[in-house]
Amino acid sequence: MLDRDCWLVLGGITGLLTLASIVSIVLRLFVRDPGKRPTIENLFDRTVSWWFMVALLTLAMWLGKSATLVLFALISFRALREVVTLAYTRCGDHRTLFWAFLIAVPLQYVLIGVDWYGLFIVLLPVWGFIFFSIRSALAGDVTRFHERAARVFWAVMICVYFVSHAPGLLLLDLPTSGASAQPIVVGYGAKLMIFLLVVVQLSDVLQYCWGKPFGRHKVVPRLSPGKTWEGLVGGVLSASAIGAGLSWLTPFTWWQAGLLAFEVCLMGFFGGLVMSAIKRDAGVKDWGTLIPGHGGVMDRIDSLSFAAPVFFHTVRHVWG
């Protein structure tokens, strides 16, 4: 799955991480200001976690398509656990949840594995929506039924359906899956996935890097105090520039890659914003504690869940 170009990008990421590790270790050794300590400890934890996440993803992609799909299925599974745990459900939702966790998650990724684009794209939004609603109604508990059904469906869409569009890019390797007569993305599935993941996660990191020192004006103060205009503009523009610079990995020209990266970064920002709104509504700060420094799995993939489907469909319609 990984050719020379992919390894070059992964090598670059390793270099970046090494740099980040050196910086965070130096800060940890020399900054003694107690007010700044929590931020620096958090930065250190984040960097360590990044090493693990990059290693895990690299290993999965090196092993091949099946391993990559298993990894993303586990990510979806864990994120779904975090989101459903914080939602209000009743005993009447139990069978629905069983289907969501143990049938919907594996099935969605199996469909990528067997290259079944037609069902992959409608399984959860159409069949899932209808089936889950019926299953919950059959349980006969009407207390806040609409809210409960909506929460379960939202969780499935965000954690499973949207996230599955990242490895779903492998489906674009099929010459028949797209809209255009002469698809130029065939053979680029894995590279497009790396491009998407690198840009969207770098955008998060760069928004943090710009926002921490320069952030003054909050974008939506009541919702997320960490998201500032300075961080947004600086992070999105610099990550888009990196995306343009990565055009050699993709079938696109440099400005096409830059525009796509811009779209991905913007959607990533909004994904984080929407998930922040849900967290505030549930009265929590993070989705979980699995990844030290980051929070839960959902905290790490909130931007990906919005960026992946938008990137997928843009690429598919224009170049696929």
Partner 1 sequence: MIAAAIRFLTGAHGRWAGVAPVASDDSLPQRVYYANHQSNLDAPVIWASLPPRLRRRTRPVAAQDYWDAKPLRRFISKRVFRCVLIERKRVSRSCNPMTAMEGALSAGDSLIIFPEGTRSLNDDGEMNEFKPGIYHLARKFPHLQLVPVYLENLNRILPKGEILPAPILAAVTFGPALMLAEGESKASFLARAKSALVSLASQDPDPMRRPRPEEPSHA
Chain residues binding partner 1 by CB under 8 A are 77, 81-82, 84-91, 93-95, 97-98, 100-102, 141, 143, 208, 211, 222-227, 280-283, 285-286, 288
d(CA 245, CA 203): 14
Adjacent-strand bridge partners of 295: 291
With respect to partner 1, which residue has the nearer C-beta, 3 or 141? 141
Least separation in angstroms between CB 80 and partner 1? 8
Residues 41, 28 contacting (CB under 8 angstroms): yes
Helices (H) and strands (E) counted in the chain, each on its own, are 13, 0
Least separation in angstroms between CB 41 and partner 1? 14
The three-state secondary structure class of 89 is coil
d(CA 159, CA 154): 8
With respect to partner 1, which residue has the nearer C-beta, 191 or 227? 227
With respect to partner 1, which residue has the nearer C-beta, 253 or 289? 289
* Long-range contacts from 208-211, C-beta under 8 angstroms, 24+ separation: 208/235, 209/234, 209/235, 210/234, 210/235, 210/238, 211/235
Query: Is the CA virtual torsion 38, 42, 45, 51 positive or negative?
Result: negative
Least separation in angstroms between CB 94 and partner 1? 6
d(CA 215, CA 233): 10
Least separation in angstroms between CB 79 and partner 1? 11
d(CA 239, CA 233): 10
With respect to partner 1, which residue has the nearer C-beta, 168 or 211? 211
Least separation in angstroms between CB 140 and partner 1? 13
The Cα-based distances of 304 to 87, 187, 200, 231 in angstroms read: 21, 22, 6, 18
Q: How many C-beta atoms surround the C-beta of residue 281 within 10 A? A: 9
With respect to partner 1, which residue has the nearer C-beta, 86 or 196? 86
**Residue partners of 212: CB distance under 8 A and separation at least 6:** 39, 231
Least separation in angstroms between CB 39 and partner 1? 11
With respect to partner 1, which residue has the nearer C-beta, 251 or 293? 293
Least separation in angstroms between CB 116 and partner 1? 26
d(CA 85, CA 138): 22
Least separation in angstroms between CB 255 and partner 1? 31
With respect to partner 1, which residue has the nearer C-beta, 186 or 205? 205
d(CA 95, CA 7): 44
With respect to partner 1, which residue has the nearer C-beta, 177 or 305? 305
